[in-house]
């Protein structure tokens, strides 16, 4: 069966609560509004009521926001609500995003007892000045404590890092990578800082209160990660992601390989039967509509077969393995070179793509221009 039309094996749950909103964050969340947690849990249970017959799933991902911001009793209730609707397949990857601040042994026990076997820790940096600039509410001591607690119950730990932060030097980024590797996480993600419209960082940049890192420095920082992390035993399997053997994020690979997935909560996006739909990003709008028994969906788009095929190229090229041309034809019904041969030829001539008889993939140089490459196929 075409994976686009197969029953979803991957489920995403959006938990929109945080202690505060960091200046660079444009995710769907509310800060300082914990009084909404009970209504959120009731609404989530109502939205999940459309799930029937306890389907078996292979990956389950709780993101946010900060799922572990919920008080222990609410965190336990969240787990119970979702797990009452799904059966976890043997070997299911069950991930939860967490921040070091606010994490406790009690909360980790609740996660582990529910079956969580992967925690993604949003540390971003180990440096106090960088953490302060990013408006993070933790410091290295809390990172160390969180990792110590987690390792007692969870075998798969992922760390998120941010580079190209104003004032961050190449040497400081190198130190961050070395410290991260020294903690021996199973997975590392590295993201260049972006200034998204509507965020506090965007406003501060417009007022010349923040100066972004130069494109040259950002490139050097990414190149450093490309060198150091594989040398430390991490497989570079996607543009921003590195994993020890056997520890790729299987949930995210569902997105990159064009498979179907379902999602619940404010701002959650799903891809079912070739149709993409997104819940209202406003937490209060999602709450009101869901609790009133109305659809929480804010946007819907039915992709044409060609749209799906082109999106599969853009997403598939994010993976270092690239795109298998024969598999692409089976999945989409299109010959990739017939569909987008001119773009492939042009990008290959630029040195950003490479191909052989079986595959097409980004070159090392193409990694630095991945967004432009993807845009050529959409």
Query: What's the pLDDT tens digit per position in 333-350?
Result: 999 999 999 999 999 999
Cis omega (within 30 of 0) for bond into 65: yes
Q: What are residue 15's DSSP bridge partners?
A: 64
Residue 169: which pLDDT band, with cuts at 50, 70 and 90? very high
Distances (CA, A) of 161 to 46, 126, 269, 305, 313: 35, 9, 24, 36, 27
Structure letter (DSSP) for residue 135: T
The pLDDT value recorded for residue 199 is 86
Residue 72: which pLDDT band, with cuts at 50, 70 and 90? very high
- Which is it for the CA torsion 60, 66, 68, 72, positive or negative? negative
- Domains defined for the chain, CATH in brackets: 10-256 (3.20.20.70), 312-375 (1.10.10)
Q: What is the pTM of this model?
A: 0.95
Closest CA to 268 of 284, 281, 255: 281
Contact present, 297 and 277 (Cβ < 8 Å): yes
Query: What's the pLDDT tens digit per position in 106-138?
Result: 999 999 999 999 999 999 999 999 999 898 888
Closest CA to 67 of 116, 9, 25: 116
**Helices 37-47, 283-291: crossing angle, 10 deg rounding:** 60
Query: What's the pLDDT tens digit per position in 182-240?
Result: 999 999 999 999 988 888 888 888 898 898 999 999 999 999 999 999 999 999 999 99
């Amino acid at each position: 069966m075409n994976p686009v039309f197969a029953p979803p094996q991957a489920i995403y749950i959006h938990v929109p609560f945080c202690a505060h909103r960091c200046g660079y964050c444009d995710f769907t969340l509310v800060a300082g509004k914990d009084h909404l947690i009970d209504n959120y849990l009731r609404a989530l249970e109502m939205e999940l009521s459309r799930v029937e017959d306890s389907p078996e799933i292979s990956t389950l991902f709780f993101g946010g926001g900060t799922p572990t911001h919920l008080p222990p009793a609410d965190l336990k209730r969240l787990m119970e609500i979702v797990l009452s609707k799904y059966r976890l397949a043997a070997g299911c990857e069950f991930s939860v995003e967490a921040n070091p601040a606010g994490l406790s042994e009690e909360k980790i026990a609740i996660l582990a007892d529910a079956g969580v076997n992967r925690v993604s820790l949003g540390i971003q940096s180990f440096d106090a000045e960088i953490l302060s600039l990013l408006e993070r509410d933790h410091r290295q001591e809390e990172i160390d404590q969180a990792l110590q607690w987690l390792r007692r119950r969870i075998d798969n730990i992922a760390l998120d890092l941010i580079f190209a932060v104003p004032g961050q030097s190449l040497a400081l980024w190198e130190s961050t990578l070395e410290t991260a590797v020294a903690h021996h996480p199973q997975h590392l993600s590295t993201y260049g800082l972006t200034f998204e419209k509507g965020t506090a960082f965007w406003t501060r940049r417009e007022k010349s209160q923040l100066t972004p890192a130069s494109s040259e420095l950002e490139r050097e920082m990414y190149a450093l990660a490309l060198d150091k992390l594989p040398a430390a035993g991490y497989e570079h399997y996607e543009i921003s992601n590195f994993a020890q053997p056997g520890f790729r994020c299987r949930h995210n690979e569902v997105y990159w390989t064009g498979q179907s997935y379902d999602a619940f909560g404010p701002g959650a996006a799903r891809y079912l039967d070739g149709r993409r739909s997104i819940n209202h990003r406003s937490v209060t709008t999602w709450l009101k509509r869901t609790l009133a028994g109305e659809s929480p969906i804010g946007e819907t788009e039915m992709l044409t077969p060609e749209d799906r095929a082109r999106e599969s190229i853009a997403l598939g090229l994010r993976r270092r393995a690239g795109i298998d041309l024969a598999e692409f034809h089976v999945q989409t019904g299109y010959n990739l070179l017939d569909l987008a041969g001119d773009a492939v030829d042009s990008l290959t001539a630029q040195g950003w793509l490479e191909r052989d008889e079986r595959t097409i993939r980004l070159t090392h140089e193409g990694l630095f221009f991945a967004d432009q490459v993807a845009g050529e196929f959409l």
